[in-house]
């Protein structure tokens, strides 16, 4: 179950047990639901993934435009970078973890859209993160709190 993951080190010890139990319960409920409505559930998840990808593309275009004009770090604080790109990419990463854990694969077209988005982010984010850090506004200050596979949080 998910209750054995590193998230627990972020909580007081008195909260770890109840939250772990709740996580296990939610995962069990999701597995039961998945056994009955796998196709419908996957359609819903993929729809949410595509919505996130579209939102991220729009934000990415805005960030790139401001970066090219030399106005990014004077126009948008790093907290917005987190809200509009990094946190949304976190959501995609956690959704991928959950789907993998449940033995569900997303469709090739949806996977391709995520890979395309990542390809663009791999070019954009190192430049953007470096710019914010040079202004002492680090948008990724706690990379150790995220899975190592979350490359967008591990940019140095």
Residue pLDDT, tens place only, 11-30: 778 888 888 888 888 888 88
* Per-residue CA distances from 76 to 15, 70, 103, 143 (Å): 36, 12, 39, 21
Residue pLDDT, tens place only, 35-44: 888 888 889 9
**With the CA atoms of 27, 32, 33 and 37 taken in that order, what torsion angle do they form, in degrees rounded to the nearest 10?**
130
Give the mean pLDDT of the chain: 88
* Per-residue CA distances from 62 to 15, 75, 79, 105 (Å): 40, 11, 15, 31
CB 124 within 8 A of CB 59: no
- Whole-structure pTM value: 0.80
Cα(139)–Cα(79) distance, integer angstroms = 7
* Per-residue CA distances from 124 to 23, 25, 59, 87 (Å): 35, 39, 12, 16
Residue pLDDT, tens place only, 104-152: 889 999 999 999 999 999 999 999 999 999 999 999 988 888 888 999 9
CB 150 within 8 A of CB 125: no
Cα(89)–Cα(91) distance, integer angstroms = 5
């Amino acid at each position: 179950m998910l209750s054995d993951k590193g998230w627990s080190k972020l909580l007081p010890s008195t909260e770890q047990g109840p939250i772990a139990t709740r996580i296990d319960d939610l995962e069990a409920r999701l597995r039961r639901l998945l056994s009955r409505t796998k196709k419908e559930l996957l359609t819903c998840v993929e729809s949410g993934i595509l919505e996130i990808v579209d939102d991220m593309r729009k934000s990415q275009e805005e960030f790139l435009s401001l970066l090219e004009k030399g106005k990014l770090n004077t126009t948008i604080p790093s907290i917005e970078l987190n809200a509009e790109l990094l946190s949304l990419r976190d959501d995609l990463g956690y959704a991928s973890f959950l789907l993998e854990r449940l033995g569900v694969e997303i469709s090739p077209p949806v996977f391709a859209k995520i890979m395309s988005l990542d390809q663009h982010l791999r070019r954009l984010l190192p430049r953007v993160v470096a710019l914010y850090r040079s202004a002492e506004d680090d948008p990724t200050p706690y990379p150790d709190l995220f899975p190592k596979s979350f490359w967008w949080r591990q940019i140095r």
